[in-house]
Amino acid sequence: MISHEPVRDWERQVYGFLTDELPDDVRADGERIVADVLAATVAGAAAPQHAGVFRDAELADGPASVLGTDRRAVDPSQAALLNATAAITQEIEEGHNRGGHVGASIVAGAVGVAEANDVDGETFVEACVRSYELCARFEYAIFAMKARMNEAIPWLVRDPHSTWTTLGPALTAAVCAGQSPDEVRETVRTALNLAVVSMHDPFAEGAPSRNVTAGFSAQAGVSAATLTAAGLRGSPAAMEAVYDPFETLLADGEFAALFDSLGDDWWITEAYQKPYPSCRYTHAPLDALRDAGADDLAPDDVDRIDVYTYRNGVDMSHARPETLTAAKFSTPYVLARWVADGSVELDDFLDDALGDEAVQALSERVHLHADEAFERAFPDDWGARVEVTARDGSRYVGERGYPRGDYRDPLSATDLDSRNRDLLAFGLGEDAADAALDALSSVGSRPVRETVAALTRY
């Protein structure tokens, strides 16, 4: 007989945490993350690689909106597919040093359910915060498992959209749909035994399908919540068979300790916001370049740029990217673009910008090197050192321990509002940007339907 009771202490702690009261400062952090992801989603829907797909996909009209468009879906899981895809497309969404980009799937995946059920902003934000705390912890643990799998499997099980990006939208959707505690338990058990894992992460190629993996995961999570409400039961045995091995994958007792700290140690307070629309692995090198004092150099003045960073960051070494996504995952391109323009903006990843030969030529003269000191500090710190050698022989050196936007060097409220307004203007146009930004500023105190209305093209 399937057990209704938690089968492990950590599972019991998960369900108990769902009724914990949120401190005011934690709720404020949650509101900032919800606004961050919603703005990123609007901008992502307007990316050329997705705009046609979002326009032409067959959707039965209903109560769940596709942000940044004039489309609605009768099934919130279809909206989750497109919204979560858009949320990560511009590589501007929030993230966590230890927990990945958990906010994107949680917020963008479940906002359609919240809209369809006419949920108030406070309920939605609080559900997102609780999901964030759980998902960040699971991602931290799953990262260790993925490292083992990547060693054993000849193709890369590395695309960061798996169990935690299914659990987040599933749990948030369950709360927004008003599920009973029993239904929430079954939703959690189902989602925790479900993963959408890409066998290859084509970030260097820049295939648009790369971003849709996040959408498929969010769609699966929302579908899990929907089916649970119809009577689907989860697997308590999976809580043992799937998650017991984490006790040995992590340091002794570390997995259980992750959940012992729920309600006391709020991981969401250590989330980061991105100042640049590119993979965060490119950010410390870019900040180091900015600190190097090479602002007066033009691309043709630079002989070479050497970047020293942690090993994962070295994966971003491909030059001459040909697509929006490939450019966002290219440290050489991002640095070359900064040398040319003194900034890195959304438009810098479109086709016209990618055709800039001086920038692309400089990207071939950017060389990435693994550095053991930065590797030892990762993932708590995501640092880099940059050495610029000019053609006249002069050298410029900059170093950052962690990127700008980290919780230890956060963006100011003014900078974050300015960034969000740029995202909204990119997706909705200048005329709608101010009203949309106003809606995001009160996302926790107005009905979700009102916020969503300001983020669409109806």
Mean pLDDT of 148-152: 69
State whether residue 352 is helix, strand or coil: helix
- The residue type found at 378 is F
Mean pLDDT estimate for the chain: 94
Stretch(es) of the chain classified as CATH 1.10.4100.10: 9-272
Instruction: Give 98's pLDDT tier (boundaries 50, 70, 90).
Output: confident
Alpha-carbon span 283 to 404, nearest angstrom: 8
pLDDT per position as a tens digit, 173-188: 999 999 999 999 999 9
Q: Where in the chain is the domain with CATH 3.30.1330.120?
A: 280-400
Residue 6 CB neighbours (<10 A): 17
Residue 277: pLDDT band by 50, 70, 90 thresholds? very high
- The pLDDT of residue 143 is 79
Instruction: Cis check for the bond before 379: say yes or no (omega within 30 of 0).
Output: yes
Q: Look at residue 144 in the predicted model and tell me its pLDDT.
A: 77
Q: For residues 223 and 12, what is the distance between their CA atoms, to the nearest angstrom?
A: 24
Instruction: Give the whole-angstrom CA distance, residue 157 versus residue 456.
Output: 35
Domain 9-272 grouped into CATH 1.10.4100.10:
yes
How far apart (Å, rounded) are the C-alpha atoms in residues 396 and 87?
A: 36
How far apart CA 379 and CA 112 sit, in angstroms, is 33
- Please give the Cα distance from 451 to 349 (Å, whole number): 28
> Which amino acid, one-letter code, is at 132?
Y
Q: What is the pLDDT of residues 364-417, one digit of tens each?
A: 999 999 999 999 999 889 999 999 999 999 999 999 999 999 999 999 999 999
**Cα separation, 316 vs 327, whole angstroms:** 10
Q: Hey, what are 58's tokens?
A: 């067959």
Structure tokens at 344: 């890195």
Whether the Cβ atoms of residue 168 and residue 176 lie closer than 8 Å to each other: no
| Distance (Å, whole) CA 55 – CA 323 | 20
The answer to whether the beta carbons of residues 355 and 294 sit under 8 Å apart is no
Note the pLDDT tens digit of each residue in 407-457.
Answer: 999 999 999 999 999 999 999 999 999 999 999 999 999 999 999 999 999
Q: What is the pLDDT of residues 100-119, one digit of tens each?
A: 899 999 999 999 999 999 99
Number of neighbours of residue 290 by Cβ within 10 angstroms = 17
Q: What is the pLDDT of residue 161?
A: 66
CA-based diameter of the chain, in Å?
77
pLDDT at position 157 = 56
Q: How far apart are CA 37 and CA 329, in angstroms?
A: 19
In tens, the pLDDT along 181-221 reads 999 999 999 999 998 878 778 889 999 888 999 999 999 99
The model's confidence at residue 458, banded by pLDDT at 50, 70 and 90, is confident
Find, among 436, 419, 446, 434, the residue nearest to 67 by Cα: 436
Residue 126: burial class (beta carbons within 10 Å; 0-12, 13-18, 19+): buried
Looking at the predicted structure, is the pLDDT value of residue 6 above 70?
A: yes
- Cα–Cα distance measured from residue 227 to residue 233, given in angstroms and rounded to the nearest whole number: 9
Does residue 326 sit in helix, strand or coil? helix
String of DSSP letters for 6-55? -SSHHHHHHHHHTTPPPPHHHHHHHHHHHHHHHHHHHHHHTSHHHHHHHH
Q: Is 376 helix (H, G, I), strand (E, B) or coil?
A: helix
Is residue 374 a contact partner of residue 383, using CB atoms and an 8 Å limit? yes
* pLDDT value for 87: 97
What gap in Å lies between CA 214 and CA 44, rounded to an integer?
Answer: 13
Q: How far apart are the first and last CA of the chain?
A: 50
Is the pLDDT at 61 greater than 80? The verdict is: yes
Residues in the chain: 458
Residue % of the chain over a pLDDT of 90:
86
Q: What is the dotted CATH code of the domain comprising 280-400?
A: 3.30.1330.120
**Residues 442, 447, 448, 449: what is their CA dihedral angle, to the nearest 10 degrees?**
-120
pLDDT score for 341: 97
Q: How far is CA 365 from the centre of its chain?
A: 30
Proportion of the chain in helix, strand, coil states, percent, rounded to 5: 55, 10, 35
pLDDT, residue 160, reads 54
DSSP assignment of 40-52: HHHHHHTSHHHHH
Mean pLDDT of 314-338: 97
**Residue 169 to residue 82: CA distance in whole angstroms:** 13
Is the pLDDT confidence value at 278 over 90?
yes
pLDDT band of residue 162 (cuts 50, 70, 90) is confident
Contact 63, 116 (CB under 8 A): yes
β pairing state of 271-272 and 72-73: unpaired
Q: Residue 187: which H helix or E strand, with range?
A: helix 181-191
Q: Is the pLDDT of residue 3 over 90?
A: no
Residue 316's H or E segment, with its range, is none
